[in-house]
Structure 1
Amino acid sequence: MAEILQPVQVLYCGVCSLPAEYCEFGADFEKCKPWLIRNAPQLYPDLIQESNSKVTDGISDQLQSSSITNGTEPSGSSAPKEPVKRLPGGKTKKKEKQEVIIEKVTRNKRKSITTLKGLDLFGVKLSDASKKLGKKFATGASVVKGPTEKDQIDVQGDIAYDIVEFITDTWPDVPETAIYFIEDGKKVPAV
């Protein structure tokens, strides 16, 4: 006779609502870890070891910070550490460098667009900057979202010949050493 099959019991995560064995592939795995340790320890035995080592590290950090170890001030700097921003998957987010990147993109053989990225990192309001660039070079300039979802200024035409001098004169907070050109896919200093 044929064997009667029983339905599979699936344990769904209480945090991300994925099946528990797929939580590690979700966007909120760090948030899921405490729930998984409590409710599904058999699926992730390495999480239990990891949490135990974090607890012991946390206790030693508390001992050092409260100066219980030897009754003196803890060694090292007294300034609090800046928390590291983590992206999904545990990768760390790099701090943005303050630099202006100028790139010329050619379209339709003879027409070109000059893009400026990073002016906002120096406190420059991009809408005002695009108006000033449009007036100075008598061309169209607009603020658009770039491929990395960051705002950039697109200026019609090839204005790379005079733009470095204009940027440093108009916005003295932007040093000339922080301006780079993209030439043949390589970042080249404008100086």
Structure 2
Amino acid sequence: MAEKPQPVRVLYCPLCSLPAEYCEFGPDFEKCKPWLVQNAPELYPDLIKEANAKETDKVTDQLESTGISSDGATPSAPKQEVRRLPGGKIKKKEKQEVVIEKVVRNKRKCITTVKGLELFGVKLSDASKKLGKKFATGASVVKGPTEKEQVDVQGDISYDIVEFITETWPDVPENAIFFIEDGRKVPAA
């Protein structure tokens, strides 16, 4: 007579309530990582390496904050702060540039979109007011497709906007302003 099969024991994560092997697809994998390292190390061996690397980084940072580098020498220049994304990826620093794009809707109506003014310290609400007054149109601050705020101005004002931006906000150099034409980024200067 054959043995009765035993039920499979499934380890569930108490944080995301998914089986441990599916935590990485859950709502917040970062919160689950410490629990997984402690309770299911065989499922995610990379997490253990990452946890060890973080411990080493903490010790190195503590040494450097006291003025000693990890090799025992005093540091010659301060280290630039690097922003890390989840998963340990390094976030690239955004280029400081203003991108102007003309979007045509309903065959004749145009909207001119201005992105990147906030990188030069310009308040977008003030910018939309000034652009609206200068060109006598409606202008507003909206969230773009990449969840970043941008200024939308009604009408095709792309011909005068470069001169207006450089005069109104001297911190914005003309060589940092670009147009998007036919899907390509073209310098305005």
Tell me if the contact between 1:115 and 1:155 (Cα under 8 Å) persists in the aligned partners: yes
**Corresponding residue SS for 1:134:** helix
Correspondence for 2:22: 22
Aligned to 1:79: 78
Query: Distance between the aligned counterparts of 1:159 and 1:94, measured in 2?
Result: 32
Task: Point out the more displaced range, 22-31 or 121-130.
Answer: 22-31
> Matched residue of 2:159: which SS?
coil
For the 8 Å contact 2:82–2:91, the answer to whether it is kept is no
Cα distance in structure 2, aligned partners of 1:184 and 1:163: 19
Q: Tell whether the 8 Å contact from 2:112 to 2:156 is kept in structure 1 after alignment.
A: yes
User: How far apart are 1:36 and its partner, in Å?
Assistant: 1.8
Q: Percent identity?
A: 71
Paired residue secondary structure (2:34): helix
Output the amino acid matched with 2:134.
K
Residue type of the alignment partner of 2:81: E
Alpha-carbon distance, 1:43 to partner: 2.1
CA distance in 2, matches of 1:123, 1:27: 34
Provide closer, same or farther for how the CA distance between residues 136 and 62 of structure 1 changes in structure 2, counting only shifts above 3 A. Answer: closer
- Counterpart AA for 1:19: P
Corresponding residue for residue 115 of structure 1 = 113
Structure 1 runs not aligned, ≥5 long: none
8 Å CA contact 1:100, 1:118 repeated in 2: yes
Q: Does 1:9 align with 2:29?
A: no
Asked whether the equivalents of residues 60 and 69 of structure 2 are also in contact (C-alpha less than 8 Å), the reply is no
SS of aligned partner of 1:36: helix
> Which letter maps to 1:170?
T
For residues 159-179 of structure 1, give each alpha carbon's deviation from its aligned partner in whole angstroms, at most 9, with x where no partner exists.
111110011111111111111
Matches within 5 A, 1:171-182: 171-182=169-180
Q: Secondary structure at the match of 2:147?
A: coil
Residue equivalent to 1:99: 97
TM-score between both structures, scaled by the size of structure 1: 0.80
- Tell me how large the CA RMSD over aligned residues is: 3.1
Aligned counterpart for 1:167 among listed residues 165, 168, 172: 165
Q: Closer, same or farther in 2 for the Cα pair 1:37/1:163, shift >3 Å?
A: same
Structure 1 residues 23 and 169, CA, compared in 2 at 3 Å: closer, same or farther? same
SS at match of 1:32: helix
Counterparts of residues 46-57 of structure 1 (less than 5 Å): 46-49=46-49, 51-52=51-52, 57=56
User: 1:3 & 1:117 partners in 2: Cα distance?
Assistant: 68
CA contact (8 A) 2:21 2:43 kept: yes
**Cα distance, 1:28 vs. partner?**
3.9
* CA shift digits 1:83-136 (9 cap, x unpaired): 42214x443322222211100011121221111011112121212211211111
- Matched with 2:126 is 128
The within-5 A match list for 1:129-148 is 129-148=127-146
Inter-partner Cα distance in structure 2 for 1:137 and 1:31: 49
